[in-house]
Amino acid sequence: MLERDELFMKEALKEAKRAFDAGEVPVGAVLVHQNRVIARGHNQVELLQDATAHAEVLCLSAGSQALSNWRLVETTLYCTLEPCPMCAGALLSARVTRLVWGAPDLRLGANGSWVDLLTMRHPMHAVSVTSRVLEAEAADLMRTFFQKQRHKSRPFA
């Protein structure tokens, strides 16, 4: 399972790189059903001027389109960053079976870094979680992005 998780996380990292290249916080996601990627997403908050345009939300929406069903049962979402509370709620609402994430989000992580919504007993659905897959790669992309952002704000320092 770890080899397969790394393979799909590399696909999510490609999406995160697309966000990075577009000047967005570099978070990427892919949704997998029956061992194939059916949807992709990366942060587009700045492009769309929409605080809800997170990689996970966009990916889940595309996945619903691909399956013609809002219930994403028997799917796995791979995301380069620990989901925030909004995205964790979307995962639960969409009935995603499994989540695999890369780097922790100490600021807004909803799987234990800040709060833990995904291990709480839910009345209708539970998500199986695997964390810290290719963590170093995901964290390095975030670190590089924010270093670049800080440098832009102080160009002559």
The answer to whether the CB of 116 falls within 8 A of the CB of 110 is yes
Residue range 27-38, pLDDT digits in tens: 999 999 999 999
Q: How confident is the model at residue 134 (pLDDT cuts 50, 70, 90)?
A: very high
Out of 56, 74, 135, 137, which one is annotated catalytic?
56
The answer to whether the CB of 102 falls within 8 A of the CB of 130 is no
Whether residue 46 lies in the annotated active site: no
Residue range 8-21, pLDDT digits in tens: 999 999 999 999 99
Distances 83 to 125, 148, 150, 153, 155 between C-alpha atoms, Å: 17, 23, 24, 27, 32
Q: What is the pLDDT of residue 25?
A: 97
Handedness of CA 36, 39, 45, 47 (dihedral sign): positive
Residue range 43-84, pLDDT digits in tens: 999 999 999 999 999 999 999 999 999 999 999 999 999 999
Q: Rounded to whole angstroms, how far apart are CA atoms 9 and 24?
A: 19
